[in-house]
Amino acid sequence: MAMTNNKTHCFTCNKDKITYPCDGCLKKFCLMDLTKHRQLLNEELNHIINDYDQFKQRFSEQKPSVHDLSLINEINQWEIDSIIKIQQKARDCRNIIIESSQTFLNDIDKKFNDLNEQIKQFRNENEFNEINLNYLRNELMKISEESNNPSTTSIQQDSQPFINEISVISLEKPKFKKWNQNAITMAGGNDKGYNLNQLNRPTGIFIDKKKNIFIADYENHRVVEWKCNAKEGQIIAGGNGRGNRMDQLKHPTDVVVDQKNHSIIIADSDNRRVIQWLNQRQQILIANIDCFGLAMDKYGFLYVSDWKKHEVRRWKMGEYNNEGIIVAGGNGQGNELNQLNNPTFIFVNEEQSVYVSDQNNHRVMKWRKNTKEGRVVAGGNLNYLLYPRGITIDNFGQIYVADFCGPRIMRWCEGKEDGEIVISGNSTKNKSNQLYGPMGLSFDDDGNLYIVARDNHRIEKFEIIL
């Protein structure tokens, strides 16, 4: 009987021997060559350990790069400049208090000296009676009371910082997001009408943290709130017919929610006023203004576009009894960089730069804080935009514009000449991938894009897919 042959080919020595497989490389080795193979693996492991130790040593000794050091130097300089500015402000405020106090003391001292002169005169001339004594006593009491009740001085903290804020931002390249081209109707969409499940030519919107939608329902002369995924809205302002009573609206164009007191601020356009509704109580904040768009920054400043004066003004919260401050336009109707032509919707970023939909110039302008003119950041040519309306900005500073006559939604990267289509209107019909008269724009916190399809009488949500 022949003995079974259990020998196979060794990968290294090329001879038929009893072999053993290596689970790593799946090759077979004789016992001697397997030992050598394991030695080679051990040597390779030692090389990896050596490389690791060297990298760890280099990493532990690594210092900030030249670029990082430059940024740190900038931060250090900002710290020094800010401290100097704060110290100077503190010195100025202390000097004001000291000067005010000294002026008060000098005034009291002068009154004491004048009274002393009168007392001396009475004594020297020895001509006085009860009337004179009562006069002296009353004057002394007045001066004494005045000295015990100095004029009150207080410190008022401005909600807008007077030092330049800085932040560290990532230089990550913008992510060119995409959205599903078939929209979900979030409000309206049941033909035009005044029922609670209908809208009539809506214009501006505001999306809160809970994804509730506040809608300026233009032809219904009301503002309605649609809770997230609700089948109908509820009237929260107006809805009492077209008119100029305090409880009425007339063609509202935009709405914002003041997050601090949960009040609703409305551009009541045809009544030429900006009005606040808080728990069904109304207050006119700004009167005699041809308002269209509204925005509120993180400091609580309110921004209003005036389409007739071709400007945007800013008001400090609670100080609406003045004319506000011009932050864009204000140099008459025109197409120069310091002018606007029928501004409509506006957007304000973290740095208080104002983006303006400059409708009749077919462009979007950006006005940085405290500048005298803006710069074109989207459009500027009939081939690019035609009567732009709603605008919003994403976290990368990319500009989204409702191209009203497109109809479509365009995206511009600041500094680029050309934009790109992100939502195609396709036509003026009623299908889920069609827009008719796009107006207001807004993102929710998840990056979904909400669009007012004015002439579809609905609010559309385009869900982000990338």
CATH number reported for the structural domain that contains residue 431 in this entry: 2.120.10.30
Same domain, 190 and 166: no
Question: For 122-166, what is each residue's pLDDT tens digit?
Answer: 788 887 787 778 877 888 888 887 778 776 677 766 655 667 676
What is the arithmetic mean of pLDDT over 437-460?
Answer: 92
**The pLDDT of residue 1:** 45
CA separation (Å) from 269 to 54, 163, 200, 364, 403? Answer: 70, 36, 16, 21, 22
Strand-pairing partners, residue 460, are 185, 451
458 and 383 part of one domain:
yes
The reply to whether 264 and 409 lie within a common domain is yes
The token duo for 191 is 């033909």
- Identify which has the larger pLDDT, 362 or 70: 362
pLDDT in tens, 51-87: 888 888 877 777 776 677 777 888 888 888 888 888 8
Q: State the Cα–Cα distance between residues 164 and 296, nearest whole angstrom.
A: 20
Phi, psi of 3, deg, nearest 5: -75, 135
pLDDT at 131: 78
Any domain includes 323: yes
Q: Kindly state whether residues 107 and 246 are assigned to the same domain.
A: no
**310 vs 390: CA distance, rounded Å:** 17
Residue 86 in domain: no
Q: Which of 123, 147, 170 represents a domain boundary (last residue)?
A: 170
pLDDT, average across residues 256-265: 89
Number of folded domains that form the chain: 3
**pLDDT tens digits for range 270-325:** 999 999 999 889 999 999 999 999 999 988 899 999 999 999 999 998 888 889 99
Cα dist from 189 to 91, 438, 453, whole Å = 62, 14, 9
CA distances from 452 to 192, 199, 255 (A): 14, 11, 13
Residues 165 and 193 in one domain: no
In a domain, residue 194? The reply is: yes
Single out the residue in 170, 195, 225 at which a domain terminates.
Answer: 170
Are residues 290 and 191 part of one domain? yes
Tell me, yes or no, whether 243 and 202 share the same domain.
yes
Q: Which residues form the domain of 45?
A: 8-61
Taking the chain, what is the end-to-end CA distance rounded to the nearest angstrom? 72
Amino acid letter for position 93 = C
| Residue 119 neighbours by CB under 8 Å, 6+ apart | 136
CA atoms of 142 and 140, how far apart (whole Å)? 5
Residue 108 lies in a domain: yes
